[in-house]
Structure 1
Amino acid sequence: MLFPISDDDRHLMHPAWVTIGLVVANVVMYLWQITHPGFDLGWSVIPAEITRGMDFDQQVIVQIGHEYVRFPQAPGPSPIFLTIFSSMFMHGGLMHLGGNLLYLWIFGDNVEHRFGALKFLAFYLVSGIVATFAQIAMNPDGLIPNLGASGAISGVLGAYLVLFPRNRVNAVFFFSIISVPAIVVLGMWGVMQFIQGAGSFSAAAQNTGGVAYAAHIGGFIAGVVMGLISRVTMKTEPESVFRRIYQEDSKVRRYW
């Protein structure tokens, strides 16, 4: 399996401030989580709360097979639909946080430069919303809290795949680092999500914790679609003073 660690950013002209801000926001939210017990239960997305439009603030007991399982609950925001946004910035642990932010840091800046800052922020949130509803659709009555930026970041990966398929990505392969086109790394990642997700879509798995593959797939597809729309509607990177400086410098270097 290829594990990406960086990509070719030589053509980028200035820092991707929205991507940086999203990384910081996720870290700050995680620190808030671990210092406020119960916050993650109340502010995560619980499918049944969204589909019923109500906040479950009491412990519930659900029958799974022949067993009864207790699900702790905590008060959430009002309206409860705000958890769709808050859950995008929450994580289940340091590994969950670190893995998501690594992917956002590697691939987010290129997509942000292509869309422009505000459009990229809107794109990121829309990808997260689509991912959340994809997960809810798998089990509308589910009581397992869903949290994490994976759905929104999956959208970033989908957009990167169609916008920069030939961009070089440095990845760990066994005990060496290799440079391969983005289409290889992200294509493999997408295929693995569909394969691994197939097993999690069974009824037996719907009320157990684990990786929210439906969210990954939903966010990824949303990113691919919006990336394709971008390829048609925006042939080049948005105009900026940094772009003009880069173009002028390139013209000078061509004559050397």
Structure 2
Amino acid sequence: MVIPVHDVNPLRRTPWVTYALIAANVLVFVVFTPGVADSATGQGNLAQLCHLQAFLDQWAAVPQELVHHRLPHLVPTGAVGVGPRGQGCVIGPPGYDKSPELSVLTAMFLHGSWLHLLGNMLFLLIFGNNVEDRMGHFRFLLFYGFCGYVATYGFALLNAGSTEPLIGASGAIAGVLGAYLVLYPRARVWVLVPFLIFLPLRLPAWIVLGSWFVLQALYSSGGAVSDAGTVAYVAHIVGFLVGMLLAWPLRRGTPPPPEPAGILFGRRARPRW
């Protein structure tokens, strides 16, 4: 898996929506999400985990709730109790009224750890600014939200019995990646490739994003080793394909990015005489 660092694709306007989305995600994580802001991995003590679980059940998207449009009879309350098997999180009737449809929106601004948050925001910053530049601010905002909704519902329909909360902006950002691939397939992207050390290379966007999509497909099918139990790879695939489809009508009128001379795949190319 390569790590994108920067793309060689200048902007015509300031990507205010991209910046605002990044700021909103960081703010929600740091200020409102309980427990995880103090840890790089999202792991904490039992009280923090019970509080976080209750918070996510209230604000995250749950596939079973989205498909059947009803709340469960028992949910985590956020308290810690003692039972026959020792300490654990207390469950009880939900003390809140939740809209499953609105939970898809709120879930897009929730993240489980700093790694989860920073990884998503890195991809959004690198690839979202050019997609916003091409679509315009308002259309990009609608596009981002639509991809997030379709990705979440796509995953929910394929996992209708799941009660695991879905969180993160990954589905919406996957749509951004799909749009970038359609609009700027030949744009150069600086990446770090882990091979003993991190090697800087400059690769075409179609290689970077195409390999990302293939990896998501392998993970979702079980064809590669992953933590598929905690990552909704199907949502990534759905969001990516929807982003490609929505961006396709804009492809013809999109000017190609400038081709920087003198550097190829991270190394200076020799002139041809």
TM surpasses 0.5: yes
- SS of aligned partner of 1:89: coil
Task: Give the alignment partner of residue 180 of structure 2, picking from 131, 150, 160.
Answer: 160
Flag as ranges the 4+ runs of structure 1 deviating above 6 A.
none
Aligned-partner residue type, residue 184 of structure 1:
I
Amino acid at match of 1:6: H
Matched, 1:22 2:21: yes
Unaligned runs of 5+ in 2: 36-50, 77-88, 256-273
CA distance in 2, matches of 1:228, 1:236: 10
Shift of 1:39: 2.0
Task: Name the structure with the higher strand share.
Answer: 2
**1:130 aligns to 2:150 (yes or no):** yes
Is the CA contact 1:56–1:75 (under 8 Å) kept in the aligned structure 2? no
- Aligned counterpart for 2:102 among listed residues 78, 82, 87: 82
SS of aligned partner of 1:21: helix
Residues 158 and 71 from structure 1, CA distance in 2 versus in 1: closer, same or farther, beyond 3 angstroms?
A: farther
- Work out whether residues 67 and 157 of structure 2, in 8 Å CA contact, stay in contact via their aligned partners in 1: no
Alignment partner, residue 121 of structure 1: 141
C-alpha spacing 1:33/1:176, structure 2 compared with 1 (3 Å): same
Alignment of 1:65-76 (within 5 A): none
User: In the alignment, what sits opposite 1:63?
Assistant: none
Once residues 151 and 72 of structure 1 are traced to their aligned partners in structure 2, the CA distance between those partners, rounded to angstroms, is 30
CA RMSD of the aligned region, Å?
A: 2.3
- The letter of the residue matching 1:24 is A
Deviation at 1:72, TM superposition (A): 5.8
Partner Cα separation in structure 2 for residue 72 and residue 145 of structure 1: 16
Q: Does 1:199 align with 2:227?
A: no
1:15, distance to aligned residue in structure 2 (A): 1.7
Structure 2 letter corresponding to 1:217: I
State how many pairs are aligned.
219
Q: Which residue of 1 aligns with 2:236?
A: 216
Q: How far, CA to CA, are the matches of 2:238 and 2:90 in structure 1?
A: 26
Q: Does structure 1 residue 172 correspond to structure 2 residue 172?
A: no
The percentage of counterpart residues that share the same residue type is 39
SS at 2:230 equivalent: coil
- The partner residue of 1:183 within 188, 194, 206 is 206
Task: Give the gaps of 5 or more residues in structure 1.
Answer: 61-69, 238-256
2:63 alignment partner in structure 1 = 47
One-letter amino acid of the counterpart of residue 45, structure 1? A
Query: Matches of 1:117 and 1:72 in 2, distance apart?
Result: 43
**1:55–1:75 contact (8 Å) kept in structure 2:** no
